[in-house]
Structure 1
Amino acid sequence: MGFFDFFKKDKGKEVFKEDADAQARAEAIRKEIDRLGLPGDIKVAVEGSRVKVTGNVPDDATRQKLAVIVGNMRHIDSVDDSGLAGGDANAAQPKIHEVQSGETLSAIAKQYYGDPNAYNKIFEANKPMLKDPDEIYPGQVLIIPEDATASA
């Protein structure tokens, strides 16, 4: 994927305090990745609100989820995964959607697939970040699986 920008202000999961130093931020991010059970040998370096992830991942899906997991953290504005091995670094970036106030996965599924009952496609693509299809928040970035046919 390369470099991925997340333009959000004070939104996302807070895994570290805003005034935490780079090492504390990196450790907190690493713990969250471990907690979610993402496979691979992943290293994290933080500079301000930018995160660089390096190491090895098994496939494109893990690479994409890693960028979204880290980017959905509060106080993180961009993720650089160009240092990851595994998967296809040159693969097309996934279609993403930033959740707006009042949206549900069903509404998002209707927008992209024309069918609100297709929400489970989006839910499954965003595991382990999502534990429940009803627990999304404004500003959260979600991966929209490629078989989406309608445009956003």
Structure 2
Amino acid sequence: MGIFDFVKGVGKKLGIGEDETPPSAEILKKELDSHELGTDGVQVEIKGDTAVLKGKVDDQSIFEKAVIAVGNTLGVSKVQADELKVGEAGAAKQPVFYTVKKGDNLWKIAEASYGKGKGAKNTIIFEANKPMLTHPDKIYPGQVLRIPDIAAN
């Protein structure tokens, strides 16, 4: 459950230049902390094009947001989070992620994730991906979004 795939050539560009090399661990950590998710106790390492997250976060949503905040960065193809612990229990639950395809919007993603007629649940997906998403219409192919369990909502 600890390695998550992303599209290496898609995502937020943090460095300079046009190549798809991942940014340094320090730059990724700074980007992660800029979202003010509660990731002060998270360390970031880079191994090739894989970002490795270690440390501890308070809850499952912070775990998932940390993974997508780092993974949706240009040059990162995988995020390894085996050593990122959640709360007192220490183990994270298996998150549900969705990779945006061409022509997708949050309504379509909600229906694909929750079932036909549940497109109005798109606001739950948008809220679950804040602050990385700043507007519901600003999603792009290859971006990975977290899909929260609607039973909890």
| Partners of 2:63 and 2:92 within 8 A in 1 | no
* 1:116 Cα offset (Å): 2.0
Give the aligned length: 145
Aligned to 1:120, what secondary structure does the other structure show?
Answer: helix
* 1:131 Cα offset (Å): 1.1
2:37 matches 1:38: yes
Distance 2:130 2:54 in 1: 21
Q: TM-score, normalised by structure 2?
A: 0.84
Q: Runs ≥4 in structure 1, deviation > 3 angstroms? A: 17-20, 87-92
RMSD: 2.0
Aligned to 2:135, what secondary structure does the other structure show?
Answer: coil
Distance 1:145 1:14 in 2: 26
Tell me, which stretches of 5 or more residues in structure 1 are unaligned?
A: none
Cα deviation per residue 1:54-101 (whole Å; 9 max; x = unaligned)? 122111111111111111111101111122233355443222111011
- Identical aligned residues as a percent: 39
Matches for 1:2-151 after TM superposition, within 5 Å: 2-6=2-6, 8-17=7-16, 18=19, 25-40=24-39, 41-87=41-87, 90-113=91-114, 114=116, 115-147=118-150
Aligned to 2:24, what secondary structure does the other structure show?
Answer: helix
